[in-house]
Structure 1
Amino acid sequence: SRIVRVLMLPVASVCRNSETPFLLVLSYLHVHTALFSSKDFEGKSQHGAYGDATEEMDWSLGQVLNVLDEMKLADNTLVYFSSDQGAHVEEVTPKGEVHGGSNGIYKGGKANNWEGGIRVPGILRWPSVIQAGQEVDEPTSNMDIFPTVAKLAGSPLPEDRIIDGRDLMPLLQGRSQRSDHEFLFHYCNSYLNAVRWHPRNSTSIWKAFFFTPKFTPEGSNGCFSTH
């Protein structure tokens, strides 16, 4: 069945008429520095200012999802939640408090192209179309949002330029087990910094760096002395 509504989070155009197709792009300042939260959440988490901001953003997203449920729009609405980069591991206050979150086992963070800087969670919900609980362990890109939404809306892609994104629906619906991105190019401003290559018909994954950050002090996961 053809989708008639697309809701993307976070990334605003809002239509209050539930019978009209709409696109909501909601971009949060939460968990971006400088950190802040309202009085209802300030000082309430076990992880300082970053935890407070995270919990308030989680609550706010819940409010949006609740409205979709109440208006009986959830089954016909695609929700996409993601981030634009990994956590800023170098964000440290004068008191030594780390305010940039965590990238877990991945090296690096915001502003570089190691996995900690570019690998972010992507969580999608569309109950009538996407199977709940599935995990897709294939590389995609935020550039994929545009062609995916255009395809679902029945709109042709521009033909006067190269579109780098790919339609996500074959992966999300299990019609494909492999990302259409054989190559992913990673930039530092206007400079090509790294290239990821997953050859067709191969389990090998290669990543070439053309220049790398110098992490300091030795053994650290960021360039702390430069911040």
Structure 2
Amino acid sequence: MRVAALDDDVEELDLIKSTLRAIGHDCHVFTEGAALQRELRRETFDLLIFDWHLPDTTRPEIVQWVRNHLQARIPILFVTNRRQERDLVEGLAAGADDFMMKPIRVGELAARAIGNLLGNALKFSREGAWITCAVEALGVDWPVRVEDEGPGIDEALQAQLFEPCVRGRSGTQVDGAGLGLAFVRTVAQRHGGKVLLDSAPGRGSAFRLVLAQAPDAPPPERGQGEAPA
């Protein structure tokens, strides 16, 4: 995955770059919005990461420029240490796709990974279909299973489904950047876990996310929930 990060803090950029490159992503960093805009005219990226405080432009200006000048809709992630609700609403209203708080915590990453699985289940399920989310503590592991009654996934596609920018299930035309499952796998692998898939066309999909539990963390409560899509 090709990522462009914009921040006026060189140390923050170095941290983002080293972290992403360590897990196999191609990260390009910029300290000025104008330099990023010039690069976006020449090159394509799969994800844009913007700091809340931008060096030579405002949040609405840079987001609006990206949306108006690029044909592809690139996901935009704001990273911020601001926690006021009005600030977060402002960022999302400006056109960002998501935000993350500094410092980034393991629990937040896990919650977002589960949210991606549930979001996919909703996206690919017909109206009225059931989605199941089950959590169970097994030793030091924390498995979360998300099942849907969607169209299922071809076996030929399953092997590459967790790669960046790979999209699609059997017989569907759903918009998206194809980054959600790549994010889920990255979170799992970075924390000693894994993500498994059981699916076939016509019988839905079941994703199982396993995260290694921290030694001092209390075990999650056993439970299961179902809800119609």
Tell me the TM-score normalized by structure 1: 0.33
Larger Rg: 1
- The higher relative CO (CA closer than 8 Å, separation ≥ 6) is in 2
Tell me the TM-score normalized by structure 2: 0.32
More helix by share: 2
More strand by share: 2
